[in-house]
């Protein structure tokens, strides 16, 4: 009989959860989140976040980061979502910080953001209107336009992954070199348009394992973590509200029709949190294309169902600005579309599922990426 060794456990320090939860709980009040949406920035919250070192969690210390594992960074992002903290935690840390550290590009003191690897219009490999030239000394000159760049308006440095002449590079351009037009997503979070007109930056060859696909996966994982937190908080609001709201002489949560919404939303909260944690665990160990794709698809679908259930259970109150449900539901509708739609990830997963064949289908479900061989 074989004796199989299970992989080492991936443990997240409880202190991280407690610290982030307390920090955001104090800072991200309904009013503060609302004010950040109107202002487009939340410097007080960002500064307090940076003081904890969470802004660079999972970025190696030798690259100027705070150290820690990807799973720990994902736990912080889950709490960002849970408290609707209006800050670019993912962009600065596990996306931008990761790209810079991998490529050996020095990071500035200020905020770093990342151009999401999306469709050809914002791609760099010949498609669309973008072009890049890299000089021998590593300086790059960019022309073109990038869309939906989170918090570009507040950033010091804008980082992207570019394919140029068969070479994948990480390119970092100071925001001062770019023309930035503010644009919000549906939750009022900055998703700005960035124009590069002869913008000068630095380029470094991307090492193995760093390319647009890897960035897409990491970005998707970041959104799953945010969504897990947001759905959980949305459910808790809904349970509280339906216990307080009295109609026909009893709390509306006593009605079976309302209970259905509570149960369905709770299932989705549990499902997405599980997906986020398992995907984070596997991505911490190595490549996890199946788990991340599965988690993002699950999160996208769950966001659709859970926002519907929670809004319905809240009645008209949930449709107002004064009640906080919208901080979560609007973020979920936005994050659902970022780093890959349902259709995108279904297609990716479909390729994996059909490639393993009928006898490999169940092992894929039980062992994930490891079953892809």
Q: Is the dihedral of CA 34, 71, 112, 66 positive or negative?
A: positive
Of 223, 233, 281, 330, the one binding other proteins (CB under 8 A) is: 281
Residue 340 pairs with which residues in a beta bridge?
A: none
Decide if residue 74 touches other proteins (CB under 8 A).
no
Question: How many residues bind other proteins, per CB under 8 A?
Answer: 53
Site residues for other proteins, window 234-273 (CB under 8 A)?
239, 243, 253, 256, 259-260, 262-263, 266-267, 270-271, 273
Site residues for other proteins, window 160-189 (CB under 8 A)?
none
Q: Is 146 exposed, middle or buried (0-12, 13-18, 19+ CB in 10 A)?
A: buried
Question: How far, rounded to the nearest angstrom, does the alpha carbon of residue 360 sit from its chain's CA centroid?
Answer: 30
Q: Say if residues 92 and 58 touch (Cβ distance below 8 Å).
A: no
Site string for other proteins, 298-337 (x = CB under 8 A): x--x------------------------------------
Nearer to other proteins, 20 or 172 (CB): 20
Give the phi and the psi of residue 110 in degrees, each rounded to 5: -80, -170
Q: How far is the CB of 334 from other proteins (least distance, A)?
A: 21
Q: How far is the CB of 53 from other proteins (least distance, A)?
A: 25
Decide if residue 351 touches other proteins (CB under 8 A).
yes
Query: Helix 70-82 and helix 14-27: axis angle, to 10°?
Result: 30
Q: Which 8-state DSSP code applies to residue 153?
A: G
Decide if residue 230 touches other proteins (CB under 8 A).
no
Q: How far is the CB of 182 from other proteins (least distance, A)?
A: 35
Question: How far, rounded to the nearest angstrom, does the alpha carbon of residue 68 sit from its chain's CA centroid?
Answer: 18
C-alpha to C-alpha distance for 352 and 119, rounded to whole angstroms: 21
Decide if residue 2 touches other proteins (CB under 8 A).
yes
11 three-state secondary structure: coil
Q: Up-side HSE of residue 85: CA atoms within 13 Å toward CB? A: 31
Residues that bind other proteins (CB under 8 A): 1-7, 239, 243, 253, 256, 259-260, 262-263, 266-267, 270-271, 273-275, 277-278, 281, 290-291, 293-295, 297-298, 301, 343, 345-354, 357-359, 361-362, 364-366, 368
């Amino acid at each position: 009989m074989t004796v199989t060794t299970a992989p080492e456990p991936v443990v997240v320090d409880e202190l991280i959860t407690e610290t982030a939860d307390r920090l955001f709980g104090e800072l991200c009040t309904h009013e503060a989140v609302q004010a950040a949406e109107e202002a487009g920035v939340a410097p007080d919250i960002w500064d307090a976040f940076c003081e904890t070192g969470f802004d660079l969690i999972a970025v190696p210390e030798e690259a100027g980061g705070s150290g820690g594992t990807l799973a720990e960074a994902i736990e912080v992002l889950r709490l960002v979502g849970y408290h609707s903290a209006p800050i670019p935690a993912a962009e600065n840390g596990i996306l931008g910080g990761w790209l810079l550290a991998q490529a050996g590009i020095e990071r500035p003191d200020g905020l770093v953001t990342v151009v999401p690897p999306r469709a050809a219009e914002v791609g760099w490999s010949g498609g669309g209107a973008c072009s890049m030239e890299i000089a021998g000394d590593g300086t790059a000159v960019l022309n073109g336009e990038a869309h939906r760049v989170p918090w570009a308006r507040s950033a010091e440095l804008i980082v992207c992954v570019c394919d140029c002449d068969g070479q994948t590079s990480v390119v970092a351009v100071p925001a001062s070199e770019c023309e930035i037009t503010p644009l919000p997503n549906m939750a009022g979070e900055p998703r700005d348009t960035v124009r590069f007109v002869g913008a000068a930056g630095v380029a470094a060859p991307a090492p193995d394992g760093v390319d647009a696909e890897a960035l897409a996966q990491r970005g998707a994982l970041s959104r799953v973590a945010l969504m897990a937190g947001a759905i959980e908080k949305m459910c808790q609001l809904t349970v509280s509200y339906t216990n307080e709201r009295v109609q026909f002489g009893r709390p509306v949560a006593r009605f079976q029709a309302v209970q259905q919404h509570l149960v369905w939303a709770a299932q989705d909260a549990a499902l997405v949190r599980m997906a986020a944690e398992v995907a984070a665990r596997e991505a911490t160990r190595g490549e996890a294309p199946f788990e991340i794709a599965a988690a993002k698809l699950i999160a996208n679908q769950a966001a659709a169902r859970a926002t519907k259930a929670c809004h319905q259970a809240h009645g008209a109150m949930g449709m107002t600005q004064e009640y906080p449900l919208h901080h979560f539901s609007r973020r979920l509708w936005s994050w659902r579309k970022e780093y890959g739609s349902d259709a995108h990830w279904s297609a990716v997963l479909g390729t994996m599922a059909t490639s393993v064949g009928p006898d490999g289908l169940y092992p894929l479900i039980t062992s994930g990426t490891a079953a892809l061989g």
